[in-house]
Amino acid sequence: MPAPRRPEPFPAAGEQHAPEPPPAGAEQRVPGPPLAGAEQRVSGPARARTRVVLAEVSRRQHRPGGARTELTQQTPVGEALIHGLVRAQLALALQLSAVVLVGLGGLPWLFAVAPSVGRMTVFGVNLPWLLLGVLSFPFLVAVGWTYVRLAERNEQDFTDLVQRPER
């Protein structure tokens, strides 16, 4: 009985690995479906195996420490990146809330300070009713659309920061 062979380590990417041929006259099993329940056996030297490595995988450079790694491993740097995104979104929300507060909250103040403006009529409708009851809705839709557009821009900038290649 021959001595058992020790397994060999895998070769580096792109190298070919050919196992040692078996001793002369030894039988080998051929992979494949069996023929009617019988094993196929072949005498002679073994065919050399070739390890196939995808070119794209071997060319890809793995660089540890990128922003994506910082985020997935929840390191302090990743937490700082997330905190920066949340802070940018909060600042945007507060700025547009101030626009709504001044735009809609300032109208009753204007009507209280200048009562003559509050008594004006346009197309037979009092100006306060027209501004607060009708024109406030398109204003709120425009502010909401602006918020979504700018929030998506913040998120896209964050995504670009995380996905850009390291130098």
Report pLDDT digits (tens) over 22-50. 666 655 555 555 555 555 555 666 677 87
CA-based torsion, 77, 83, 88, 89: positive or negative? positive
Q: Which domain holds residue 75?
A: 67-163
Residues 44 and 81 in one domain: no
Residues 157 and 89 in one domain: yes
CA-based torsion, 107, 113, 115, 116: positive or negative? negative
The predicted-structure confidence for 111-138, as pLDDT tens digits, reads as follows 888 888 778 888 887 878 888 888 889 9
Average pLDDT score, the chain: 75
pLDDT of residue 146: 96
Q: Do the domain assignments include residue 41?
A: yes
Residues 22 and 84 in one domain: no
The predicted model scores a pTM of 0.52
pLDDT of residue 95: 96
Helix or strand or coil: residue 133? helix
Q: Do the domain assignments include residue 75?
A: yes
Residues 20 and 71 in one domain: no
Number of domains in the chain: 2
Confidence of residue 81 (pLDDT cuts 50, 70, 90): confident
Residues 55 and 92 in one domain: no
Side-chain-side CA neighbours of residue 133 (13 Å): 6
Residues 51 and 120 in one domain: no
Residues 72 and 53 in one domain: no
Q: How far apart are the first and last CA of the chain?
A: 57
pLDDT of residue 42: 55
Of 60, 83, 99, the one marking the end of a domain is 60
pLDDT of residue 133: 83
